[in-house]
Structure 1
Amino acid sequence: MTSSATRNGGTLPDADVIASASRSMAIAREALVDVEAQVASGALGGALAEAVRLIRDRAGRLIVTGVGKSGHIARKLAATFASTGTPAYYLHPTEATHGDLGMVDPSDVVLALSWSGETSELAQTIHYTKRFAVPLISITADAHSTLARESTVALVLPRVREACPHNLAPTTSTLLQLALGDAIAVALIDVRGFSAAEFKIYHPGGRLGARLLSVAELMRRAPDLPLARPGTAMAEAIGIISAYTYGAVGIVDQDERLVGVITDGDLRRHMAPDLLERTVEDVMTRNPVCVSPDMLAGEALKILEARQIGALFVVAEGKPVGMLRTVDLLRAGVA
């Protein structure tokens, strides 16, 4: 049996390592199931809905705060809120007591994370919210704690066992804080109708930014498109396919509307001695799958992958305005 080295120089069988990891995940899963049930049917769900309304209706920003492991979760949540349409930033409780409380406006909302609810570093921030009537939302595990009692809305999580074998290192608890905070952020997306187009504004970089590009930004545009009219001989249509790099030719009627497409696959399916003498109507696929210029690149990629094709015509008001190839999406970093 293979073994994994431990920090003190000993070894631990891989099977034991895997079993330990599985136990951790099982503890986390059970805790999440419990919280989900409380959100769906208990007081936690009512408090969450109240918190969402409070954040939505305030004119200012959402200030997320916490120290230690809760502080790390708070930083992540602030980033999630800010990137999904809820202006937010992280406020370090210690820095808050040395002047950063001046960044908190009465129009803001404070979201404070503390598992015990008695984190001493949060005391001044709590006092500030009470003094200047700044709404305070808390995520804690103690309904009777100072933080919960002083909150406008207290989101009280169940006390759970940490995945740490000593029940000490914040593991399950931080997971629940993160899950509940993310749930609030997603609920705000739904409540505000935050669109994918708006999402793109805050995520211009990386693969996510590429997937949020529109088809119009990546397509090959007219007039450089492989097109033919009804009645065109297949010999000529094959020549058009060969002259371009799309592996297809579109058939357009007298009104320039796309009525069919012939792809390399269509040629293989209709291969016969008289193929070159036939016309495009005999071979083309009618009512072909197309995409619109304003469709997101990520959605177009799903269509290309599902259909197992390399290119699609981009159509506006029934007329081809471009072509989108899988290779164009790959080059842009969409996939």
Structure 2
Amino acid sequence: MGYLKSGKAVIRKEIRALQQLEKSLGDNFNNAAEAIANTNGNIIFLGLGKSGHVARKCAATFSSLGIPAFYMHAGDATHGDLGMVAKDDVCILISYSGKSKELLDILKPLEQIGAEMIAITGNPDSSLAKMCKIHVDIGVRTEADPLGLAPTSSATATLVLGDALAISLMEKRGFKKEDFALRHPGGNLGKKLLLTVDKIAHTDDQIPIVHTDAKIHEALLTMSEKGLGMTGVVNDKNDLIGIITDGDIRRGLENSNQEIFNKTATYLMSKSPQKIPSNTLAITALEIMEKFSITSLFVTDLEDPNKLFGVVHIHDILKAEV
């Protein structure tokens, strides 16, 4: 069998495993989710080997979604790490066979501590499944490899089950994008969720602005000086009423030649330019620019929407690597 054919066969087997997982979920899934939702303690994932890797990923997913969780190696648990477990905690023990000695050895101590225990296995008749108050069966009985030995379908199903628990709890808690952002301040993800336009906007004397009675050549000089390819137009009350772009001037030259420079700003300006409040996310500003095929947005003061705070250019957002 060729590599591609073999690889696709494995994917099909794992897809079937996930379909079986979906069919097998029932009341025990609800019971597990309720136990996690109702605890005032931490969620502790335990496992070893490949199940340990899956447990670690599940703990990371839970934590990123605002559900306090951490991973504990089952072997380390028997050598002092059980001291991190408290009465109000929920321990999720992961073992495909349900026979891992290291997990079975800590059931009695966990019971004495008073922690809730949830088993995730692929063997409902196993000791681990029977000895825990709640057992969730992943529904997988065969692996995807030809020997039926490598943790493949079972690991995938367990990982997806962890995601299913995490997301269902996230939805129940009303977890929002803003909550997610607070837990991911670093990297590009953090920038997308946290960076607002007030942090990157051109402000004060960097804002290209001309008065309504300014000549077009003045507008052109302002645009050249500020380097944003546009200028705002304000009235006697300093209200922003229009915008002139370098494209407007080019089109004006094509239609009126040099005479365009004797006209005032109101002749060329487009009325009601796009504006956003200063607390708008940079990624949202970029989406607005793409929607209206523009390269700049005026930014208004958060407390006074009629007051101009600054200007943000598409290059400012791209430079921030949002």
- TM bucket normalised to smaller: 0.7 to 0.9
C-alpha distance in 1, partners of 2:157/2:249?
A: 56
C-alpha distance in 2, partners of 1:134/1:195?
A: 29
Q: Structure 1 residue 63: deviation in Å?
A: 0.7
Aligned positions of 1:190-209 closer than 5 A: 190-209=171-190
Alignment partner of 1:22 out of 2, 5, 8: 8
Does residue 78 of the first structure (1) align with residue 59 of the second (2)?
Answer: yes
Does residue 246 of the first structure (1) align with residue 231 of the second (2)?
Answer: no
**Which residue of structure 2 lines up, in the alignment, with residue 184 of structure 1?**
165
Asked whether the 8 Å contact 2:216–2:261 carries over to 1, the reply is yes
Distance 1:294 1:94, change over 3 A: same
Asked whether the 8 Å contact 2:86–2:114 carries over to 1, the reply is no
**Which residue of structure 1 lines up, in the alignment, with residue 208 of structure 2?**
226
Asked whether the 8 Å contact 2:62–2:166 carries over to 1, the reply is yes
Q: Structure 1 residue 105: deviation in Å?
A: 0.5
**Which residue of structure 1 lines up, in the alignment, with residue 279 of structure 2?**
294
Query: AA paired with 1:252?
Result: V
Q: Structure 1 residue 310: deviation in Å?
A: 3.0
Does residue 322 of the first structure (1) align with residue 310 of the second (2)?
Answer: yes
Cα-to-partner distance string for 1:163-190 (whole Å, 9 max, x where unaligned): 3232221122211111121222223332
C-alpha distance in 2, partners of 1:265/1:52?
A: 57
Query: AA paired with 1:232?
Result: A
Distance 1:18 1:226, change over 3 A: same
> Which secondary structure does the structure 2 equivalent of 1:165 belong to?
coil
Distance 1:100 1:305, change over 3 A: same
Distance 1:102 1:284, change over 3 A: same
C-alpha distance in 2, partners of 1:130/1:214?
A: 48
Does residue 310 of the first structure (1) align with residue 295 of the second (2)?
Answer: yes
Q: Structure 1 residue 208: deviation in Å?
A: 1.4
Query: AA paired with 1:20?
Result: S
Query: AA paired with 1:263?
Result: T
Q: How many residues align?
A: 315
Q: Structure 1 residue 91: deviation in Å?
A: 0.6
Asked whether the 8 Å contact 2:60–2:69 carries over to 1, the reply is yes
Query: AA paired with 2:316?
Result: D
Unaligned runs of 5+ in 1: 1-11
Distance 1:111 1:298, change over 3 A: farther
Q: Structure 1 residue 256: deviation in Å?
A: 4.1
Q: What is the TM-score of this pair, normalised by structure 2?
A: 0.86
Does residue 217 of the first structure (1) align with residue 199 of the second (2)?
Answer: yes
> Which secondary structure does the structure 1 equivalent of 2:25 belong to?
helix
Q: Structure 1 residue 89: deviation in Å?
A: 1.0
Distance 1:112 1:228, change over 3 A: farther
Q: Which moved more, 1:167-176 or 1:154-163?
A: 154-163
Asked whether the 8 Å contact 1:27–1:161 carries over to 2, the reply is no
C-alpha distance in 1, partners of 2:211/2:141?
A: 69
Asked whether the 8 Å contact 1:225–1:323 carries over to 2, the reply is yes
Does residue 162 of the first structure (1) align with residue 143 of the second (2)?
Answer: yes
Distance 1:203 1:247, change over 3 A: same
C-alpha distance in 1, partners of 2:141/2:284?
A: 40
**Which residue of structure 2 lines up, in the alignment, with residue 103 of structure 1?**
84
> Which secondary structure does the structure 2 equivalent of 1:194 belong to?
coil
**Which residue of structure 1 lines up, in the alignment, with residue 103 of structure 2?**
122
Distance 1:286 1:54, change over 3 A: farther
C-alpha distance in 1, partners of 2:212/2:27?
A: 62
Q: Structure 1 residue 22: deviation in Å?
A: 2.0
**Which residue of structure 1 lines up, in the alignment, with residue 269 of structure 2?**
284
Q: What is the TM-score of this pair, normalised by structure 1?
A: 0.83
Q: Which moved more, 1:311-320 or 1:110-119?
A: 311-320
C-alpha distance in 2, partners of 1:45/1:319?
A: 56
Q: Structure 1 residue 308: deviation in Å?
A: 4.2
Unaligned runs of 5+ in 2: none
Alignment partner of 2:217 out of 197, 216, 235: 235
Identical-residue share of aligned pairs (%): 36
Cα-to-partner distance string for 1:71-102 (whole Å, 9 max, x where unaligned): 00111121222222111111111100011101
Distance 1:278 1:115, change over 3 A: farther
C-alpha distance in 2, partners of 1:45/1:297?
A: 42
Query: AA paired with 1:215?
Result: V
Q: Structure 1 residue 223: deviation in Å?
A: 4.2
C-alpha distance in 2, partners of 1:190/1:86?
A: 12
> Which secondary structure does the structure 2 equivalent of 1:272 belong to?
helix
